[in-house]
A and B are shown apart, each in its own frame.
Chain A
């Protein structure tokens, strides 16, 4: 029997980046806010200090920082003709758990999407005609111009290092000339580039491309953010993605928000408590709070006036399904919207091997890199190419952690003496150029609930049905050729191409950029949430995260996730609290 707890104004389901942002904004408004996190409290000096952080086996391979698969996972299949089976351990993406969420173990590559990305459907239809059969791309319902102040806010919160390419419409040398206008320069200068980035810059210049520093949430210098939180200079240790930062150099909820938030009298955090469902009143149109269970198995009813779902793209989508908010998407009929437009990211790369130059990849950082954006979004004419969208191409030096990163040239066997020799010869003398491709929504890629497998509480697992699409493959083929052109000019002895081939494989790590499932849009017939991330069906429920992306752009998503969260928070503060109810009339 669930114990009923005293009501709060706001309950946040999950306490990662978006949970921390919403908590900070809404406690500032004077609201009593409770965050419920299924994982542990985590702080830098205890849980991922410099003394234990550089441990590749523990954090990546034994996955100690990620969601525990034994309690909950997903099932996966490439298409509806197959039987989905559980992802028995994480592979292609790594879902976070615990305070700070995946934001503790991200790389820190912090982008803004292009203005055209937010109007992907109307823009591409205007320019190239109707979308192909089966493609379900749509506009976000919010524009870049509306989000600009919120991108800016997040960059200042995090102390992003970079170089503006478009300051209030003026193109700036050294920055990304294709980016949307920005109201201010980045708060910090770019990272300190190393040999590989310099080679990339030279090669791209030769091709007439305009390379610029990758926007980085690893601190290029000591920084104090607008809340007064301090971040230390990055030491380029090469343990960012899949690891917590031991010396306060990577923006995370821990380093940028919690020092201020945790002290507030009107904020409470519960850890090791998992929300089982959002509770609804009899009408089904109003949330009354959440039901949650602690690790010891005690169940609670937590009444709240406002429920904000901040449980990562996958967890948030599943919670909406389990709570019966909206209808689950069915690709056979096209009915339902929850679970629709699941998208990912389409990656390919070329490895460059040097004869007598040392790339020393261990001198790295999660967002230490140079990039070009000529082939992203609609920055180039797609006429006759057979696809829309694109991606940035970059040379990042994130790490040389040897279990994970030991590049070998074309034709090397996968084990034995020849393999070992190739690893030893090339470990310090190789780098990689990658294309970070967009992922366009199709009717056959979606999420729903699995009919067979359940989690530790007996609830159905979410089922992912996903494969790369014709648009993905054409786009990736095009981008990989551009990658090859650049890689060939980087002064190496040889290159090895890793094109995107075959069906999507759920095991080799690609990116933790899962998007869609509770998509945003202009009206309740095409979306789960409105432009303020408010549920059309239950207006006192808001959903944060990349699950609201109608399709994924050719960038890492965190910047856009955060900007949308700030945009939603502003709407709650300035509109919803004055007049609780739908912020957009259906």
Chain B
């Protein structure tokens, strides 16, 4: 028999092989590398810096922004195409100031406005960890940005307007857990990147902090947990469970959040997840404006579509099967004023993130081939106005527009 593969042995071998190949890498203590590994998890570096089916951290993944497609670079320590020639100071400058070794500005698709909150020791640990990865030679594709977005100079203006470098400063009035949570959410976790509405220049709208946002044809819900917030009805335990396992009593994670959970939060310590929960539960919000109810014909049609297509999983009363099939009653995504995610999930289906705790990739099928725009609008309006849900109706035009936007360019 050939030798059985043992994960730990394989990893040790990688470390030994990788280290001498990189000019700047040093043999670091196990503790330092582990600290870096953990910090990488808190920042979900793997999610953006890994293209589907390609080696981890070798980059090449495109991030769709309203301004064009930006590709994540290779962050393995390969000298030509990766970080192999970078010094620790270079790395610090990238993370803290959003600038490359040559002084050029990064696009804020790289969330340096958040990473700037990380202290130097943490950033150094990330560097030491990345240095242990097997170097992969992989060129980054050119960004696909129109003028003037392709002018990195314009980013200086952007930085001047929206970016303030600076390590996180604790609030002495708040508990240690709150401060740790605030650091994780606002710093490495960069939650606002998706969950905060952007202004016309792509900067966060301060007044809308964590009240939900839209990115890449998904709407990210309001994650403020205090009074009036989108997850006001979630307990701290439920937030922790969601971040740890991808599911809780109320919902299941999919799409971008699935990635965050897979590469980041499920790997985090429970104390840190609880800290995040403590912080989010402290963020109050204004009460929502009451929404219009759909007309009776729409409700009747929506109920028929729901009964015939949805109830097998989500159950006739929208209660779902918690942790298996997401409940729709009380769902933050269903009640999001922005219906993009609801429409999109009906059109193309969704997969609940498989996690260590819940490995089953339970998925909803696509209905795009089966339901017309009117029927999607009816059932979306129905679920948004039933079982205590109270979000505005969806129109067939909105469905048609999203359907068009989701058409693949190559078929």
* Shortest distance between the CB of B322 and any CB in chain A (Å): 9
B5 and A30 contacting across the interface, CB-CB below 8 Å: yes
Smallest CB-CB separation from B308: which chain A residue? Answer: A50
**Which residues of chain A in 208-247 are interfacial with respect to chain B, using CB atoms and an 8 Å cutoff?**
222, 227-230, 232-233, 235, 237, 246-247
CB-CB < 8 A to A7: which residues of B? 2
CB-CB < 8 A to B6: which residues of A? 30
Among candidates B2, B312, B351, residue contacting A50 with C-beta atoms closer than 8 Å: B312
CB-CB < 8 A to A580: which residues of B? 1
A305 and B1 contacting across the interface, CB-CB below 8 Å: yes
Among candidates B5, B309, B321, residue contacting A232 with C-beta atoms closer than 8 Å: B321
Q: How many A-B residue pairs have CB under 8 A?
A: 84
Interface string of A1-34 (1 = CB under 8 A from B): 0000001110000000000000000000111100
Interface assignment of B354: CB less than 8 Å from any CB of chain A: yes
B358 and A230 contacting across the interface, CB-CB below 8 Å: yes
CB-CB < 8 A to B358: which residues of A? 228, 230
B1 and A31 contacting across the interface, CB-CB below 8 Å: yes
**In the assembly, what is the distance between CA of A467 and CA of B174, in Å?**
82
Smallest CB-CB separation from A50: which chain B residue? Answer: B312
A30-B4, A50-B312, A51-B370 known; A259-B361 Cβ under 8 A: yes
The majority secondary structure among interface residues of chain B is loop
**Which residues of chain A in 227-279 are interfacial with respect to chain B, using CB atoms and an 8 Å cutoff?**
227-230, 232-233, 235, 237, 246-248, 255, 259-260, 263, 265-266
Interface residues in A, total, Cβ within 8 A: 36
A51 and B7 contacting across the interface, CB-CB below 8 Å: no
CB-CB < 8 A to A70: which residues of B? none
CB-CB < 8 A to B364: which residues of A? 45
* Shortest distance between the CB of A251 and any CB in chain B (Å): 12
Chain B interface size range: 20 to 34
B362 and A246 contacting across the interface, CB-CB below 8 Å: no
A259 and B360 contacting across the interface, CB-CB below 8 Å: yes
* Shortest distance between the CB of B363 and any CB in chain A (Å): 4
**Which residues of chain B in 322-349 are interfacial with respect to chain A, using CB atoms and an 8 Å cutoff?**
323-325, 349
CB-CB < 8 A to A263: which residues of B? 354, 359
A230-B323, A265-B5 known; A246-B365 Cβ under 8 A: yes
Among candidates A49, A222, A228, residue contacting B324 with C-beta atoms closer than 8 Å: A222
B4 and A51 contacting across the interface, CB-CB below 8 Å: no
Interface assignment of A512: CB less than 8 Å from any CB of chain B: no
CB-CB < 8 A to A233: which residues of B? 321
Interface string of B306-326 (1 = CB under 8 A from A): 000100110000000101110
Interface assignment of A577: CB less than 8 Å from any CB of chain B: yes
**In the assembly, what is the distance between CA of A248 and CA of B370, in Å?**
21
Interface assignment of A283: CB less than 8 Å from any CB of chain B: no
Among candidates B4, B363, B366, B367, residue contacting A31 with C-beta atoms closer than 8 Å: B4
B357 and A232 contacting across the interface, CB-CB below 8 Å: no
**In the assembly, what is the distance between CA of A580 and CA of B2, in Å?**
12
Among candidates B2, B321, B349, residue contacting A45 with C-beta atoms closer than 8 Å: B349
A49 and B365 contacting across the interface, CB-CB below 8 Å: yes
Q: Which residues of B contact A (CB under 8 A)?
A: 1-2, 4-7, 309, 312-313, 321, 323-325, 349, 351, 354, 357-367, 369-370
* Interface contacts beyond A7-B2, A45-B363: sample of 8 additional A-B pairs, CB < 8 Å, sorted by A: A30-B5, A31-B1, A32-B4, A228-B357, A247-B313, A248-B324, A255-B360, A259-B359
22 contacts between A and B (CB under 8 A): A9-B1, A9-B2, A29-B4, A43-B363, A45-B349, A46-B365, A49-B349, A51-B365, A51-B370, A52-B365, A222-B321, A227-B359, A232-B362, A235-B312, A237-B312, A246-B365, A247-B312, A248-B324, A259-B360, A259-B361, A263-B359, A577-B1
Q: Please give me the 9 A-B residue pairs with the lowest Cβ-Cβ distance, nearest first.
A: A30-B4, A49-B365, A45-B363, A259-B359, A230-B360, A45-B365, A259-B360, A266-B5, A235-B312
